[in-house]
Amino acid sequence: MPVYKFDEVLNDLMDYFLLGDVDYLFQYKEENNLPDDLLTEFTTKETGDEAVENGVIVPMIGVENHPYTIYFNLLDENSILLKPENDLQHQREGYCLRVVNERIYLYTIPYLKDFTTTKIEALKKFKHATIELQNGWYTVSILAGLTKQIEEVKTVKGEIKTIETMEPTFEFLLKPSKDKPVFTADFNYQFKVD
């Protein structure tokens, strides 16, 4: 299984990222008679905690406003952020995720404000950090920090220059699980990358 990379992923000026199968979240909303305004619902009632503990969404809070490099890592080893040239700042385990519609997205909290089919279609159209995954349960580990990125740019004179930078990064280690993994994560943990 591979590693997927996405560049310049934005958090829409909010200090949150959410990871999950958005069609499953919509199904969960309908099955539990939740309102379209999942943002208010999840932040003022226990239903948000329940959705996280049941693997419907994986929240990350304290996310600074930067363009991020995002990795979805489906390998059993070889974490990108654990390589010596990178700066690992956060490593959190104990998250669980259920995939029901063979696709997950990294998206932002404003989408929860009016979580309707129209909003989901917009999310699918405009959010590019998405991968296909087989349906089932997954354990999720979240790593965050800075990764060395190498870019080639063309100068005014037409020369190709190589630039090395350290970019804010999130890496999601996703491992299939036969059964629902036990949720042990602290979803109030702050993922600030310096």
Q: Which of 129, 35, 137, 66 is nearest to 95 (CA)?
A: 137
* pLDDT, position 187: 85
Contacts of 53 (CB under 8 A, 6+ apart): 96, 183
Architecture of domain 3-177 in CATH? Answer: Sandwich (2.60)
Q: What is the mean pLDDT of residues 10-25?
A: 92
pLDDT digits (tens, 9 = 90+) for 50-83: 999 999 999 999 999 999 999 999 987 789 999 9
What is the rounded CA–CA span in Å between residue 183 and residue 187?
10
* pLDDT, position 1: 55
| DSSP secondary structure, 70-117, as one string | EEEE-SSS--STTSTTSEEEEEEEEEEEEESSSEEEEE-GGGGTT-SH
Chain-centre distance for alpha carbon 37: 21
Q: What is the mean pLDDT of residues 40-45?
A: 95
Question: Would you list the domain boundaries of the chain?
Answer: 3-177
* pLDDT, position 128: 86
Q: Is residue 13's pLDDT more than 90?
A: no
pLDDT classification of 88: cutoffs 50, 70, 90? very high
